[in-house]
Amino acid sequence: MDWLVTGYWAMIAAATLFSALLTWQAFEHRRYARSRAKHTVSPGLNRHIALFVPCKGHDDDLAENLRPLFEQEQCSYELVFVVESDHDPAAAIIRRMMNEYGGVRSKLIVAGLAVDSGQKVHNLLAATAAIPTEAGVLAFVDADVRPPHDWLRRLTSRLHNFPVTTGYRYFMPKSQTFANLVLASLNGSIIPIMFPGKHHLIWGGSWAISREVFIASGLRDEWRGTLSDDLIATRTMARLQHRVSAEPMCILPSPLEVDIRGMLSFVRRQLVIGRCYTPVHWYALLVGSALLQLTLWGSLLAALGGALGGAGWAIQPAVAFGVLYALHWKRARLRHAACRLYLPTRQAELKAVHRFDALLGPIAGTVGLVGLLASGITRRIVWKGIAYDMRPGGTLSKIERQDSTPPNLQNSSARRAA
């Protein structure tokens, strides 16, 4: 039995070291966010910005998410919306918003249905086929986030020093359900990993790139036949050694309402994509998550079992559990302190999320581990009514539509609508 005890304490030591490193990273994230928050944002680049907004489907938040895009401050910009078809419910909402904000330059592109790329990638290819002549910067935003009025100015303020800048999302649950809280906690735990400083990860829902770098990088060609716009952009910029500036002040609130099934589907889908495009990150996350969860819950069960049996050794796994839980709690508090910097007006809405994250975050971590294991047995995902089969490396081998798309749209070509 000595080997079993030795193995257990070796796992505890490894888990504690790993947890301590994650806590240090969360500390660095807070420090970096403080530094960025103190930075005085420049009045903006003297370059026109083309802001691309891929949209699909309709939800109750779409109009309110799009509204701030028409109200960005101190920027010369125009909006380029793109949908897959005129029948998409988002198209009518976009046209209504364009009419309401007639003074803001905007257009709607109908891309047609994808046949060899992910629908979002196909939409972006159609939208960027003819970049507005005067645009010196290309910016991208998802329709499920709600940016503040100074977001575009902040996102592009460092493009004189960096060729690419990026933000991220912060889930804002509409109701305090278990599924919403778990997904918000998992999403929040990823942010310090992405934002310790200058890094190579890009999030497709909030990023910008200079026109020159976008064209010279050949990113449009890299996108073809793939599913993930941002991970391909990440890969391309890393290959070309272009530095990416992380902008914590461009972390955007994203309304969230999912049930258990939707939450599990989201977690699994994101991790399958990650496994196909960044397998090194996926394996590191799998090993780290398994180590933390097994040692944390294993120590708790050992302590409870020993205590119930009156064993004197029960205090040892209890202390191990306490140390790991304390490190988790400290990481959560550091993340929440950083969140107060980039989402200062949304803290009242996040009280329940932060309470759950600090106290019950390990439960979310267990859900994440289940998602990791599930993502390791398939390369097939379903995203907005379309099923995609991926090859290693991320190219698509098969696309199947599960929604009721009219047959006459299957070969639709890109069209523009004023």
What would the mean pLDDT of 399-414 be, rounded to a whole number? 53
Distance CA 116, CA 136 (A): 29
Give whole-number Cα distances, 4 to 9, 295, 303, 338, in Å.
9, 13, 16, 40
pLDDT (tens digit per residue) in 311-361? 888 999 999 999 999 999 999 999 999 999 999 999 999 999 999 999 999
Confidence of residue 79 (pLDDT cuts 50, 70, 90): very high
**Average pLDDT of the segment spanning 378-388:** 90
DSSP conformation class of 413:
P
pLDDT score at 5: 79
What superfamily in CATH does domain 40-258+405-417 come from? Spore Coat Polysaccharide Biosynthesis Protein SpsA; Chain A (3.90.550.10)
pLDDT digits (tens, 9 = 90+) for 157-177: 889 889 999 999 999 999 999
Question: Exposed/middle/buried for 255, CB within 10 Å: 0-12, 13-18, 19+?
Answer: middle
Residues whose CB is less than 8 angstroms from the CB of residue 312 and which lie 6 or more positions away in sequence, other chains included: none
Report domain extents, the chain: 40-258+405-417
Residues 319, 307: Cα–Cα separation, whole Å: 13
- In tens, the pLDDT along 122-162 reads 999 999 999 988 999 999 999 999 999 999 999 998 898 89
Strands (E), 200-358: 206-210, 244-256
Spatial CB neighbours of 143, under 8 Å, sequence gap ≥ 6: 53, 54, 55, 56, 62, 65, 66, 90
pLDDT of residue 413: 38
Q: At what angle do helices 178-194 and 2-38 cross, to 10 degrees?
A: 80
User: pLDDT, tens digit, for every residue of 198-210?
Assistant: 667 899 999 999 9
Q: Could you give the angle at the alpha carbon of 231 between the alpha carbons of 388 and 124, nearest 5°?
A: 70
Mean pLDDT of the chain: 90
Average pLDDT over residues 92-114: 94
